[in-house]
Structure 1
Amino acid sequence: MKKIFTLTLLLMSIVLTAQDSTEAEAEKKFTLSGSVDAYYQTYISAPDDVGASFGTAFADQTGFAFGMGNIIASYESGKVGAVLDLVTGPRGASATFNSDIVDGIVNQAYVYWNVSETTTLTMGRFNTFLGYEVIAPAANFNYSTSYLFSSGPFSHMGLKADFALSDDFSLMLAVMNPWDTNNTSTTGEYSFGAQLGYSGQYLNLYYDSGNNGGLGFEVDYTGGFDVSDEFFLGINAAYNDNDGSGFYGAALYPQYATSDDFSIGLRGEYFALHGDEDSVDYPSVIGLTLTGSYTVDSNLIIKPEFRLDSLTDADGGIYGNVVDNDGLAASSLSAFTLAAIYTF
């Protein structure tokens, strides 16, 4: 009888150990995702061979072009994990400046620790918390990007802490290398970021004591509202100052879903540069971008897009090269783009 009891305890111990091992293995999770995009673009108000450009990031080629391919590998074991986001192509090269961190291959690379159910610490390189738009085209409604997004930092290198204060409120605090210093900072300067969120609305703050050699500061609001089941209105507004000069602007993103597979949306943006020089006529621009978004079998997204940028204070462009059919400086530039994005 004693042997039977001992054997029973041994079997129970083996079963419990196996269960613990299975549960531990279940906590480990590896995922692989990514996207590939390509596009065709032609200018309507200027020849394709005169070097015209809107002056915003990405999608600046004419004819058929490759956008970006990226693979995101993530691994989580219990409360800790890591993410490695690798990119290639012109969009990826522009987002990583083509030279920092392994020749423009690494978009994001960070480790994290879920300290508790309400607190997460992240260290490494991560995409910016500023602005409405992001680098990966699959996550944006419009294929081309805004001036606000293009002018802000794309990524940061540092340490951040995310706090879930309640079901509605969240807080993020970060200490990072200076603006667009995504590899190693040799200046001894750092930047600081904060984000306060409430029900999908976010107030972002950024301070940089070493931003391009001067004081850098940016305040940014990003949010949106479901006006109805079919209609969504996104909002972005920002003011940036870098030792007396910078930019400011606002953009609205009304989007209407006509069916489960097709939506149409408009980005209306006002963007301007500012400075301390009274004699300088600082340029500004009004950009209108109309985009359709058609989803095929959940993974393929087709986006036809019309874009018109109109200068309000100066001819010739704001960052970009706005010209007419004769190649001369103009007050507006328009284009048609057809993009295809596949996600997995």
Structure 2
Amino acid sequence: MKRFLLSAMVLTTSFVSAQEVTETETETKEKKFSFEGSVDAYYQTNLTSSDKAIFGDDGDSFQSFGTSFADETGFALGMANIIAKYEGEKTGVVADLVFGPRGDAAIGGYNINQLYAYWNVTESTTLTLGRFNTYLGYEVISPTGNFNYSTSYLFSSGPFSHVGLKADFALSDDFSLMVAVMNPTDVNNNYIGGYALGAQLGYSGQFLNFYYDDKEVLGFEIDYTGGFDLSDSFFLGLNAAYADNDGEGFMGAAIYPQYAATDSFSIGLRGEYFDWLSDADTAVDDLDVMALTLTGSYTYESLTIKPELRLDSNAEEVYLDSDLESTKSFAAFTVAAIYQF
């Protein structure tokens, strides 16, 4: 009888131990997966013209700034962003999906913002293969990564994403280097032939970026992105770029002063000068613009409300006023709601 009881105790102990091991393994596996994302929507009204300043008689084209996203009047949708990640010991994958007008304007099909695998070859070297967002510029596609809700001319004119292979090197605590071989910018399939080369040199949060493609999709671009904490509550972001594509291109600079008034409320200004460049004697070369964007940011739990006032002043009369007469200036007020989970 004692032998039977002892055997039963051993079996029970073994069962509990096996169960505990299984639960531990399951928890470990679950920790490798992460799921996050965001949704955003906004309301926008024109201040210097009618909300329905029509370019033509079809009633479908509305006046907006010459930049990407947030370009509809009234109540409008941004995008839904869903990001799934799996992280192994040295390798992992990221699937970043987008749905909605902002995503459609940025990705060019498939609802895929980013889709890549990576390998941490060493503690200081990482290889990434697939589609990833651009390393050029201060702003990004997702509104959760930008202080201002509307985007700059510099961001709108450069690449959004790349498909290719990149290698990131942590050279020291302060220095970093990235080199990449990619398809020409913003294409998922290399149906035009040719390739692009990219590089980024970083030092203490300041980045010098290079891009070149041999099919004159974007041509050549050099870009500086960085910023400085001037105090515990005041940050100054900086961006400047020059691009040339066989005589056509752009140049510009933007500053991003941002002040954190409280833990939940900040206010920031984007001041930008942007100039289209052309060797040809055309009106395009005269389309330089000064743009000022004042944005407030109030966060409650996972919800961020951003009221924004924007004024663009162009060298040419490219906008319409309330009487549908040509004018050089255009202003709008926007309130955006962004929820991040």
Instruction: Using structure 1 for the length normalisation, give the TM-score.
Output: 0.88
Q: What CA distance in whole angstroms lies between the structure 1 residues aligned with 2:30 and 2:41?
A: 37
Q: What CA distance in whole angstroms lies between the structure 1 residues aligned with 2:29 and 2:64?
A: 50
Q: What CA distance in whole angstroms lies between the structure 1 residues aligned with 2:99 and 2:68?
A: 15
Q: 1:145 is matched with which residue?
A: 151
How far residue 187 of structure 1 moved from its aligned partner, in angstroms, is 2.6
Q: What CA distance in whole angstroms lies between the structure 2 residues aligned with 1:87 and 1:179?
A: 19
**Per the alignment, do residues 339 and 197 of structure 1 end up closer, same or farther by CA in structure 2, a change over 3 Å counting?**
same
Deviations 1:209-245 (A, max 9, x none): 1133xx7100000000000001000000000001111
1:221 maps to a residue whose letter is Y
CA contact (8 A) 2:167 2:179 kept: yes
**Per the alignment, do residues 337 and 24 of structure 1 end up closer, same or farther by CA in structure 2, a change over 3 Å counting?**
closer
Q: 1:55 is matched with which residue?
A: 66
CA contact (8 A) 1:128 1:153 kept: yes
Q: What CA distance in whole angstroms lies between the structure 1 residues aligned with 2:282 and 2:95?
A: 48
Q: What CA distance in whole angstroms lies between the structure 1 residues aligned with 2:192 and 2:40?
A: 37
Number of aligned positions between the proteins: 315
CA contact (8 A) 1:28 1:77 kept: no
Deviations 1:138-167 (A, max 9, x none): 110000000000001110000000000000
1:74 maps to a residue whose letter is K
CA contact (8 A) 1:27 1:76 kept: no
| 2:262 aligns with one of 255, 259, 264 | 259
| 1:284 aligns with one of 264, 270, 288 | 288
How far residue 53 of structure 1 moved from its aligned partner, in angstroms, is 1.0
Q: 2:244 is matched with which residue?
A: 241
How far residue 283 of structure 1 moved from its aligned partner, in angstroms, is 1.0
Q: 2:208 is matched with which residue?
A: 203
How far residue 277 of structure 1 moved from its aligned partner, in angstroms, is 2.1
Matched, 1:160 2:166: yes
- 1:8-47 equivalences in 2 (<5 Å): 22=25, 25=28, 29-47=32-50
| 1:324 aligns with one of 315, 321, 324 | 321
Seq. identity, %: 64
Q: What CA distance in whole angstroms lies between the structure 2 residues aligned with 1:305 and 1:25?
A: 44
2:214 maps to a residue whose letter is S
**Per the alignment, do residues 85 and 279 of structure 1 end up closer, same or farther by CA in structure 2, a change over 3 Å counting?**
closer
How far residue 327 of structure 1 moved from its aligned partner, in angstroms, is 1.5
How far residue 186 of structure 1 moved from its aligned partner, in angstroms, is 2.1
CA contact (8 A) 2:107 2:186 kept: no
Q: 1:94 is matched with which residue?
A: 105
| 1:271 aligns with one of 270, 274, 288 | 274
Q: What CA distance in whole angstroms lies between the structure 2 residues aligned with 1:253 and 1:129?
A: 18
Q: 1:337 is matched with which residue?
A: 334
Matched, 1:112 2:111: no
How far residue 282 of structure 1 moved from its aligned partner, in angstroms, is 2.4
Deviations 1:284-343 (A, max 9, x none): 00000000000002x10000000000012x221xxxxx2111122210000000000000
Q: 2:58 is matched with which residue?
A: none
Deviates more, 1:199-208 or 1:277-286: 277-286
Q: What CA distance in whole angstroms lies between the structure 1 residues aligned with 2:191 and 2:103?
A: 25
How far residue 208 of structure 1 moved from its aligned partner, in angstroms, is 0.7
CA contact (8 A) 1:275 1:282 kept: no
Q: What CA distance in whole angstroms lies between the structure 2 residues aligned with 1:64 and 1:278?
A: 40
CA contact (8 A) 1:114 1:121 kept: yes
Q: 1:84 is matched with which residue?
A: 95
Q: 1:131 is matched with which residue?
A: 137
Q: What CA distance in whole angstroms lies between the structure 1 residues aligned with 2:81 and 2:215?
A: 31
| 2:81 aligns with one of 61, 70, 89 | 70
Deviations 1:161-188 (A, max 9, x none): 000000000000000001222x111232
Q: 1:193 is matched with which residue?
A: 198
Q: What CA distance in whole angstroms lies between the structure 1 residues aligned with 2:178 and 2:222?
A: 14
CA contact (8 A) 2:206 2:225 kept: yes
**Per the alignment, do residues 110 and 279 of structure 1 end up closer, same or farther by CA in structure 2, a change over 3 Å counting?**
closer
Runs of 5+ unmatched residues, structure 2? 1-13, 54-61
How far residue 24 of structure 1 moved from its aligned partner, in angstroms, is 11
2:297 maps to a residue whose letter is S
